[in-house]
Amino acid sequence: MSEFDDLRLINNISTFLHRNDILSLYLTEYSNGNWNTIFTLEMVEIKLCHAIAISAFINSKTNKLCAFAILNGQMGDALIEDLIVDSKYRNIGLGTQLINDLLKQHINICSNQKSKNNKSNYCNSITRVLHNTDWTNSSLHSSHSIKVSLYCRRNLAKFYSKFGFQIIRSAQNENEKCYMQITQSLSEQK
């Protein structure tokens, strides 16, 4: 049994309990690059409080958070603000699971809001999208779109493109970030 067997996916309010681990990951990740941002515990708390969705992995044996992703913005138009995986947990699929979880959470948030507004019933479409792992080739017809954007280093664009994110603006050099976006259409089954 490896330490990776003890990883557990958590989201939203549970991550607030691990804010010191999140700060540590920010400090480690951003100290290795040319970033001008200085992270504090207060900044982490603000990010967590304003997030639409949060997804993270903790090691259940050590109770230490080892990866997280934060989705900010508004219903239907969100930004993956950060996705950081501790270096010793990379290349085992955590980033992929975090992105998939954030995208599913965003769909759920949007569908719940639509149901509350009584504009139309998206339940069948949402269920289809949640079980459809290919975001870009959905057979749904558009009457409502969910857009998710992100900024990433040029070397990570290939990782995000496997989810259907498309480069909107390329990075011109190593210090500049790519701007990528995915749009998913939702509608009732016709």
Kindly report the average pLDDT of the chain as a whole number. Answer: 77
Query: Rounded CA gap, 133 and 95, in Å?
Result: 15
For residue 28, give the CATH number of its domain.
Answer: 3.40.630.30
- pLDDT digit string, tens, across residues 72-127: 987 778 999 889 999 999 999 999 999 999 988 888 887 776 555 433 333 333 33
What is the model's pTM? Answer: 0.76
- pLDDT digit string, tens, across residues 122-175: 333 333 333 333 433 333 333 467 889 999 988 899 999 999 999 999 988 877
Taking CA atoms, 153 is separated from 9, 89, 124, 149, in Å, by 25, 19, 36, 14
Q: How many domains does the chain have?
A: 1
- pLDDT digit string, tens, across residues 44-53: 888 888 888 8
Q: Which amino acid is at 131?
A: H
Query: Residue 55's pLDDT is what?
Result: 93
Using alpha carbons, select from 143, 142, 185 the residue that is nearest to residue 164: 185
Query: Rounded CA gap, 167 and 145, in Å?
Result: 18
Query: Rounded CA gap, 77 and 114, in Å?
Result: 14
DSSP-derived secondary structure for 59-106: ETTTTEEEEEEEEEEETTEEEEEEEEE-GGGTTSSHHHHHHHHHHHHH
Q: Hey, how many other C-beta atoms are within 10 angstroms of the C-beta on 168? A: 10
Q: Under a CB-based contact definition with an 8 Å cutoff, are residues 175 and 34 in contact?
A: yes
Mean pLDDT of the region 170-188 = 80
Range of the domain at 118: 3-186
